[in-house]
Amino acid sequence: MKLFFVFLLLVIHSILFGQKDFFKDRKADLELGINVGSRKPTFEIGLNLFKLFDRGMVSNSLLLSSEFNYSNSNLLIAPKLTYSKSYLILNFSGSIIYYNYNHSNGLFFRPNFGFTYCGWLDLVYGYNIPLEHKLEFVNTHTITLRGRLFGILKDDIF
Q: How many CA atoms lie within 13 A of 128 on its CB side?
A: 27
pLDDT of residue 18: 52
Pick the more confident residue, 86 or 21. 86
pLDDT at 157 over 70: no
Cβ(47)–Cβ(66) below 8 Å? no
State the pLDDT at residue 72.
75
Write out pLDDT tens, residues 69-89.
887 778 888 899 999 888 878
Q: What is the pLDDT of residue 95?
A: 92
Strand partners, 154: none
pLDDT tens track for 98-143? 988 888 888 999 999 999 876 678 899 999 888 887 777 777 899 9
pLDDT at 123: 92
Helix H, strand E, coil C: the string for 100-143 is EECCEEEEEEEEEEEEEECCCEEEEEEECEECCCCCCCCCCEEE
Provide the phi-psi class of 119: left if phi over 0, else alpha when psi is between -120 and 50, else beta. Answer: left
b/e map 22-49, b = 16+ CB within 10 Å: bbeeeeebebebebebeebebebebebe
Q: What percent of the chain has pLDDT over 90?
A: 17
**pLDDT confidence of residue 6:** 64
Q: What is the pLDDT of residues 37-79, one digit of tens each?
A: 877 788 888 887 766 655 556 778 888 888 888 877 788 888 9
Mean pLDDT of all residues in the chain? 77
pTM score: 0.74
Q: Please give the Cα distance from 26 to 16 (Å, whole number).
A: 21
Among 1.10.287, 3.30.420, 2.60.120, 2.40.160, name the CATH number for the domain at 2-150.
2.40.160
φ, ψ at 72 (rounded to 5°): 55, 40
Strand partners, 114: 91, 124
